[in-house]
Structure 1
Amino acid sequence: MNASVLDTTDAAAPVGPCDLAARIAGLFVYPVKSCAGVRVEQALLLDTGLEFDRAWMVVDGDGNFLTQRELPRMALIQPQLKTYEMVLRAPGMLALHIALDRVETRARVTIWNDDVAAFDMGPIAAQWFTDFLGIAARLVRFDPDHLRVSNLDDTGGTLALNQFSDGYPLLVISQASLDRFNEKLTAQGFAAVGMERFRPNIVLGDAPGEPLLSPHDEDRLDLIQITTAQGLVRLKPVKPCARCPIPGIDPATAISSHAVGDLLQGYRQDARLKGAVTFGMNTIVLAGIEHLLKVGQPVGANYRFD
């Protein structure tokens, strides 16, 4: 594989003045792919993204991944991360407790075109998901020994790993982008929507005393630096996030509507992806693995000049 290795040894070295200043306004982890997210105040950064992000996935009887695209009710499954376990809750269901340090049998599963090594989480979890979703389903956990590599063409040859995400370790969106979207949405007579619709990992917000972020600044960034207690984290946005119908699903009700998708179609068609609708940037980790990200940490970023 012709790829460069992540630089994890020089995270504290600055790279010069930044074009804009921001802060971390929100952090989200999605423990089970396509189920509800967990808003956290801090998260450990790993080479695959935030700790526990998309570490589990729901599959059908043939091992193929399942998402809200086919099963909107997955939006109603609410994970909670505790010290030693993950607790899953859903309407009409008893809570399902999943130990963070236990798995059962080995499995092979499919996500998009990738055949991935995983661990089956056992018959109790399988029955829980089957009962709630109404189809034969199982819960699996990503095998950490498996290397699932992001598209090297998009990463410029940098070896970027991920677990059960759609293909990249992190998704970054600015609060300014959501605010602009909601301005347009409410102008059409619809209620504003929350950031959870767009499922980011890192939300960028305005830094006190600094110029305000512009909507979709994340589209134009070449390098993002986050100052942590351990040194600088360096992230690189590599590809706009093409949006599927999931942002149109109300996470509180699992009911779909066309308002969100229609608005995105009206002003977010992206020439970089041949007219696909995009919102947010898929991002990889260049340095800072095992640093602790926290809401409020300062962010500096440089624009990309193509």
Structure 2
Amino acid sequence: MEKTDASSAAAAAAAAADAKISSIFIYPVKSCRGISVPHAPLTPTGFRWDRQWLVVNQRGRAYTQRVEPKLALVEVNLPAEAFSEGWEPTKTSYLEIKAPGMDLLKISLCKPPKVSDGVSVWEWSGSALDEGDEASKWFTNYVGKPSRMVRFNAASETRPVNPV
């Protein structure tokens, strides 16, 4: 029995050594479309820019595509240099958001100052950075319900990542 386990482990290790990554997708806004990127810097919480924003209802609960399927049509774009190691946003760096029938929404990549408490997604809850009234109006109009766009607040919260 032990020999079979050792053989299985060796086969799995050999397969892992031959594994190749064919593409990387990040999802800057949870439940919206992803972006295919050639490379993505790693941070303590995963790929940089991945799931940093989310759209929440008036109670601070995150919308998902299960509840709001229209979010699947929301396209997001980041500057190409945002995926370069060591790059930091400037005042002219934006997350761009577009959807059918909506004007382009630009969100500054510099951190917003307003903190929203009581934000939750699945089992996680905590504070987030509110992206302001323009983003709120855009998503409220698009979803058809009162909405806010918030950003993960790395300064005060941690988001556990499975180390495996």
Query: TM-score, normalization: structure 1?
Result: 0.43
Q: Does structure 2 conserve the Cα–Cα contact (< 8 Å) formed by 1:59 and 1:137?
A: yes
Letter in 1 for 2:109: L
The one of 13, 31, 34 equivalent to 1:34 is 31
Following superposition, the deviation at residue 18 of structure 1 comes to 3.4
Larger strand fraction of residues: 1
Tell me the amino acid that sits aligned with residue 141 of structure 2.
D
Runs of 4+ with >3 A deviation = none
Q: What are structure 1's unaligned runs of at least 5 residues?
A: 1-16, 150-159, 161-283, 287-306
SS in 2 for 1:98: strand
1:148 counterpart letter in structure 2: R
Match of 1:138 in 2: 148
Deviations 1:108-158 (A, max 9, x none): 201123222211000000000000110100000000021132xxxxxxxxx
What is the aligned partner in structure 2 of residue 232 from structure 1?
none
SS in 1 for 2:154: coil
Question: Which residue of 2 is the match for residue 116 of structure 1?
Answer: 126
Q: Which runs of 5+ in 2 are unaligned?
A: 1-11, 82-92
DSSP 3-state at the match of 1:24: coil
Once the two structures are superposed, the pairs formed by residues 3-14 of structure 1 within 5 Å of their partners are none
Per-residue CA deviations over 1:201-224 (Å, capped at 9, x if unaligned) read: xxxxxxxxxxxxxxxxxxxxxxxx
> Once the two structures are superposed, what CA deviation does each residue of 1:43-85 show, in whole Å capped at 9, x if it has no partner?
1011211100000000001101101111100000000011521
Distance 2:159 2:45 in 1: 9
Identical aligned pairs, as a percentage? 36
Among candidates 4, 22, 25, match of residue 25 of structure 1: 22
**Equivalence for 1:55:** 52
> Out of 80, 95, 107, which is 1:86 matched to?
95
CA RMSD of superposed structures (Å)? 1.5
Letter of the structure 2 residue corresponding to residue 115 of structure 1: S
Name the counterpart of 1:193: none
Partner amino acid for 2:140?
A: T
Deviation at 1:19, TM superposition (A): 1.8
Distance of 2:69 and 2:53 partners within structure 1: 18
1:100 counterpart residue number: 109
What secondary structure, in the 3-state scheme, does the structure 1 residue paired with 2:95 have? strand
Alpha-carbon displacement from aligned partner over 1:142-184 (angstroms, at most 9, x marks no partner): 00021132xxxxxxxxxx3xxxxxxxxxxxxxxxxxxxxxxxx
* 8 A contact 1:116–1:148 mirrored in 2: no
Cα distance in 1, alignment partners of residues 72 and 104 from structure 2: 16
**Greater RCO, CA 8 A, separation 6+:** 1
Aligned to 2:138: 128
- Who is 1:65 aligned against? 62
Equivalence for 1:163: none
- Whole-angstrom distance in 2 between the partners of 1:104 and 1:86: 17
Aligned residue for 2:40, secondary structure, equals: strand
Separation in structure 2 between the aligned mates of residue 137 and residue 107 of structure 1, nearest angstrom = 13
For residues 239-258 of structure 1, give each alpha carbon's deviation from its aligned partner in whole angstroms, at most 9, with x where no partner exists: xxxxxxxxxxxxxxxxxxxx
The equivalent of 1:148 in structure 2 is: 159
After superposition, residues 155-194 of structure 1 pair within 5 angstroms as: 160=161
1:47/1:285 contact within 8 Å kept:
no
Amino acid in the other structure paired with 2:47? L
- Number of positions where the alignment pairs a residue of Structure 1 with one of Structure 2: 137
Contact 1:58/1:139 (<8 A) preserved: yes
Query: What letter matches 1:33 in structure 2?
Result: K
